[in-house]
Structures are given as structure tokens and as C-alpha cells.
Structure 1
Amino acid sequence: MKTRCAWCSDDPLYQAYHDHEWGVPVHDDRHLFEMLSLEGAQAGLSWITILKKRESYREAFANFTIPLVADFDEADIEHLMLNPGIVRNRLKITSVIKNARAAQLVQAEFGSLDAYLWRFVNDKPLQNAWATLSEVPAQTPESQAMSRDLKKRGFNFVGPTICYAFMQAVGMVNDHTLDCFRYAEANH
């Protein structure tokens, strides 16, 4: 039996996410935008709730294709508010659209969302060595800096804790605990 990070339950969907995605460096703008959107949607909820709704989110938000989501209008918002497959919170729904528009400005300035976001870790994953889940911080100076800059650029639902969870998810930091079978694989 594999030893996983303590936060990972025995849910097969959660385990697959932990084993194959969480902590793997992502450099694709669409995927980065998806994860930033999903982490924002998760605020106040459990990650497994969002993970179970992920396919519905992809369908609802044009597979997180930034220019398509940026073009969503009030009619799209009203339609999304009726979608039981996503979290029907108007602020969270409108933030995805607002963030897509802000992401387009970032892409224009930096060439890609990837280039902009990864500069907060100097373009290289930070390697941590936590023995237990209780040692893992909720936020770091890097996630605080990312949050401040994203907010300044018009992004919503990007507080420092959400930014740190995003950084963990997209492999900007390796927060697999030392006893986790994925720690060594993610430590590059």
C-alpha cells in the first residue's frame, strides 16, 4: 500500500489527483487558468467537492479557454447560475470571467500566463521537506506576493491562501510530505 500525504482521503478520485496531478509542474496557460479558477471556487468548501464538479466546470467555462471565458456576458452568468454541476455563487462565477479578462492583459504584457505566474518562484519549483501535514503553511511570502500582484491586476478570489493552494497544485512548490511516495518523484 502506498503512503500518501495525510490530506489525501481514500476516495479514488482524490487519490488519482494526488498521485498524478498535484505538485506536477504546469506550464500550460489553459491549465493554469483552470486551476486558478478551481482554487477560487473552492474557497470555503472542500477540495473534493470541487474535484467532483471539475468536469462540469470544464463544460460550463469553455474548458477554461481564456479568450472564450473573457467573452462571457450577463446572459452567460444567468445561465451558469442555473447549472447544478458547479458552485452557483454569483461572485465566484463572475470572478472566473473577470479573471479571464485580467489573464488576457497578463498574457499581452508577459507573453503568457505561465511566464507571469512562475516568476513568483524564479521559474523553478520550491522544494520543501515537511515531515507532517501540520508543518505545511497555509501561505508563504511567495503566495502573498502573488496575491498582491494578482489583485492589483484585477483578479478576484486570489488571496494568499488560495494562491498557495494553487502553487501547490501546479507544482510551483513540492509540498508532498517526506513519507509520501510522490515526494521523491516531485523533488527535482
Structure 2
Amino acid sequence: MTTRCGWCGTEPIYIEYHDTEWGVPEWDSRSLWEKLVLDGFQAGLSWITILRKRDAFREVFEGFDPERVALWGEREIALALQNPGIIRHRGKIQSTVRGAQLFLDIESSDGFSPWLWRFVDGAPIQNEWSEISQVPAATERSTAMSKALKKKGFNFCGPVICYAFMQAVGMVNDHTTDCHCHEPIRALSSG
């Protein structure tokens, strides 16, 4: 029997996400922005809700192309608000448009990926949690990331959201030590 992190559950979409994406180091700026947006939409909801709607989010937000989303106006926001395939929250949709503009600024000056990865000194942190109850909801690093993002003008990026983001994109390896993904993720991070 395959052992997975306790949060994973038994739903196939969650198992697939856990086994193939969660914790895998992501270095692509656009992919990091997409994940940050989706984590922002998760605020107040479960991740599986967002995961089930991810394809619709990708369609509505034009493949998470920041250059296109940055140009959105009220018409595009109104259309998104009518789409039942996504979370129809005006503030989060407007935040995504503003986030696209901010992404482009950071990408052109520092590179969005290097700017984010600096919060873990450019390399994944390898944790050794034996139980899911040991995994923190936020850390000093996620708090620092949250403050820096907010200072730039991002919304829906508190310390807990930032830590979930850091876990998902492999900035931290929070697979429990008994999980079958723990060591493969560690190996990805070192090579």
C-alpha cells in the first residue's frame, strides 16, 4: 500500500495532484504566478475546490498569460464574474488583474521566479515532519514573502496563503517522511 501525506485523502484528482505536482520545485515565472493566483482564490475555501475548477480558471484567465490579463478592464472582469466554472469573487478577480500588472513589473526588473525564490535563499527547504500535525500553517519566511508581496501591491497573499504556495511549488518539502513522495522530492531538489 502506498503511503501519502495525511491531507491527501482518496479522491483521484487529489491523489494525482499530491503525487505529481505538490512539492515539486517550480522555477517558471508564469507557472509560479498562476499558482499564487490560485492560492489567493483558495482563501476561505478548500484546495480541492480550486483544483476541480483549475481548467476553468485557466480558460477564463487566458492561460494565465499575464500580458493579456494585465490589460483587462471592466468588460473582462464582468464576463469572468458570470462564469460559474470559477470562484466568482470580484475582489479576487480584480486582484488577479492587478497581480498580472505587478508580475510584469517584477518580471522585467528582477525576474518573478528569482524574486520569489529568494525567500528560501534560492533552494528548497527540506523538512523532516513525521506527522502532518507538525507541519506549520505559516513560517517567518512565508510572513516575509507575504509582507513583500503586499508591499508590491498584491492582495490575497497572507502568510498562510504564502506558506501553502511555498509548499505547492516546492520551496519547502513538506511531504511527511513516511510519504512515498518525500525522498523523490528531496532528490529533485538536490539535483
TM category, shorter: over 0.9
* Structure 2 CA distance for aligned equivalents of residues 100 and 117 of structure 1: 15
Aligned to 1:179: 178
1:7 aligns with 2:7: yes
Partner SS, residue 129 of structure 1 = coil
Mapped partners of 2:57, 2:130: distance in 1: 34
State the partner residue of 1:134. Answer: 133
CA shift digits 1:76-102 (9 cap, x unpaired): 000000000000010111111111111
Give the alignment of 1:28-177 within 5 angstroms: 28-110=28-110, 112-177=111-176
Secondary structure of 2:181 counterpart? helix
Q: CA deviation at 1:170?
A: 0.3
Aligned residues: 187
Letter in 1 for 2:126: Q
Post-superposition Cα deviations, 1:91-123, rounded to whole Å, max 9, x if no partner, equal 11111111111111111220x210110011011
Alpha-carbon RMSD across the aligned residues, in angstroms, is: 0.6
Tell me which residue corresponds to 1:27: 27
TM-score, L = length of structure 2: 0.96
Aligned-partner residue type, residue 104 of structure 1: L
Q: Could you tell me which runs of 5 or more consecutive residues in structure 1 were left unpaired when the two chains were aligned.
A: none
Q: Distance in 2 between matches of 1:109 and 1:30?
A: 15
Runs ≥4 residues deviating over 4 A = none
TM-score (norm 1): 0.98
Question: In 2, distance between residues paired with 1:97 and 1:2?
Answer: 41
Identity rate of aligned residues, in percent?
A: 52
